[in-house]
A and B are shown apart, each in its own frame.
Chain A
Amino acid sequence: MERTRETKSQELIRRLKYNKSAVFGLAIVVILILCAIFANFIAPNSPTPSPPELFKALKPGFWSEDGIEEMPLGADGLGRCVLSRILYGARVSLTAGFVAVGIAMILGITFGTIAGYYGGWVDAVVMRIVDIMFAFPALLLAIVIVTVLGQGLDKAMIAIGIVYTPQMARIIRSSVLYIKEMEYIEVQKAIGSSDARIIFRHVLPNSIAPVIVYGTLMLATAILDCAALGFLGLGAQPPIPEWGAMLSKSYSYIVSGAWWAATFPGIAILLSVIGLNLLGDGLRDILDPRLKT
């Protein structure tokens, strides 16, 4: 068992190497994670200087002669370094993404496994609930949950986690249904293994592939949705350097000529989401050829 898994992961790496776009995606994701971890070492300035340096407000970056040297990407409306805030923002966005997807995974795997493994009325009930949740556009459902819970980054993460649960549950369920019919599961049942043992030892480990693939893709949309909530003022609250919130605070300066404060956070969102999407697509091609679109 152990050995096959090792070869599997070796094979994964080998095949990933041949998928150029996946490698590119992986590179972006790795850079993103490094930025997030080492933000306090890389960032040239504090993301929330105290007391604030208001006199630097809306100063341009390296491309201009009026720029401030230590702020290569310019300053925002409160004189804070845009680059530093983006770097710290990676930490915020990644954490939010991971927590949200984590919540979706825990809930989704629980419900999906129960529904798929036991079938019958349990399955019917769980899947109807999933259907109902699918009747809402994801962002709208997240907004509704935030309306009830209140605004804030923590609540936005929970909301997004809940919104993604049905998707995860559906994926797990279909994978469980597939595995359940396999012969060795029948054998396990025949020799009297308990349900819990079968689920944890045999069913779940075999559902890992779709969880990884969809987890990665979900991470991309989670970051996007979290930024969207931040943009609408329902997510991260100041002074947290969250990309979506940074954008919404500074896009009114575009007309005044200060385009940088709104442009760069958007690029950061775009690049991270592209990275995760490319990686997710690549992983899907390798791990789950059945799902290839």
Chain B
Amino acid sequence: MKWYITKRLLMLIPVLLGVSILAFSLIRLAPGDPAVTIAGEHASPQVINSIREKYGLDKPLTTQYWIWLKQVLRGDLGRSIVSNEYVAKEILERFPNTIELTLVSMIFAITIGCIAGIISASRQYSVFDYSFMGLAIFGVSMPVFWLGIMLMMIFGVYLRWLPISGRISMMISFQRITGFYLLDSLITGNFAAFISSLRYLILPSVALSTIPMATIARVTRSSMLEVLRQDFIRTERAKGLPERMVIYKHAVRNAMIPVITVIGLNFGLLLAGAILTETVFSWPGIGRYVVNAVNMRDYPVVQGCVLFFASMFVIVNLLTDIVYVYIDPRIHYG
């Protein structure tokens, strides 16, 4: 077990190195002088020179890479051209917003997706099955940004039930501690703030959760169907266990194993979906930050966000693999 995790961690190193090379080359591949790319076109010659010195831009590429990598490992991602702020700091400021949105969406997606999948499988070919799976095909084909707009239109503009942009009502005084609004409002016992931030979370997270929800439902269903065909289930049934027991106690537990992989993979997709959802709902997270940065040609920010997103993605995949090993007794970690 330990060996497996060690091996898995070791395998991460080349991937992370590759990711860093890609992020590094982003600025070198951009048209123009890299010093100007990093400092911005308005920068004074002094600033450009200091950048040139800091990153050793007159040295060979490999040396440049090492210099840069060392800085990245120290947490120095450079400064934003637009705001002149440290990129790492700006990312950390926005990070809780994105994570809170993705986590809430994931919770939505897992709960509803799994339930729909289990119901569909246990009543294969029923009306439920057909309608859930029909909805699921809609879900996986959904343009998230369009769904977001439609949700805004229906629940925000016409029905006026929910707010359509922002993080929390400005009319509520609220103290941020961790940056996770739901958590902070609970810590401070601020019930009004909790409800308000929840209201602001609903539409974006529903939009964002659609694709993973549909995927999870489909995988849960097929995985359940497979398990239900297996011998031990037949044995349980033969023993006279009630069908509900069979399904919820034995089948579900076994069927969840492949679902976990899918959840892990979907977390990455969710981060990508967050780019669109945050743009639609003016959500102050990293997704919107990177889109703005691309439009503004703020290369250091794009580079920082790329590194950040990719590392998140890699780490989530690693965690999924580890959880998978813990859960699935059949895997021999060779």
Contact = CB atoms under 8 A, between A and B. Distances in A.
A213 to B, nearest CB: 15
Main secondary structure of the interface of A (DSSP, over half): helix
A262 B149 contact: yes
A21 B141 CA distance: 14
A251 B143 contact: no
B269 to A, nearest CB: 6
Interface string B288-313: 00110011010100100010011001
Chain A interface residue number, banded? 35 or more
B275 A143 contact: yes
Interface string A258-293: 010011011001100110011001000000000011
B317 to A, nearest CB: 8
B60 interface: no
A233 interface: yes
Interface residues on B, range: 35 or more
B276 A135 contact: no
Contacts of A138: 269, 272
A132 B147 CA distance: 31
Contacts of B152: 254
Nearest to B306: A144
Contacts of A37: none
Nearest to B222: A293
B18 interface: yes
Given A244-B143, A254-B153, 9 more contacts: A137-B268, A137-B271, A137-B272, A143-B290, A143-B291, A148-B26, A148-B29, A270-B141, A281-B137
Interface of A: 21, 128-129, 131-132, 135-140, 143-144, 146-148, 220, 224, 227-228, 231-234, 244, 247-248, 251, 254-255, 259, 262-263, 265-266, 269-270, 273-274, 277-278, 281, 292-293
Ranked nearest first, the 9 interchain pairs of A and B with the lowest CB-CB distance are: A132-B18, A137-B272, A266-B146, A273-B141, A139-B272, A274-B141, A269-B143, A135-B310, A148-B29
Interface of B: 14-16, 18-19, 22, 26, 29-30, 137-138, 140-147, 149-150, 152-153, 157, 218-219, 222, 268-269, 271-273, 275-276, 279-280, 290-291, 294-295, 297, 299, 302, 306, 309-310, 313-314, 317
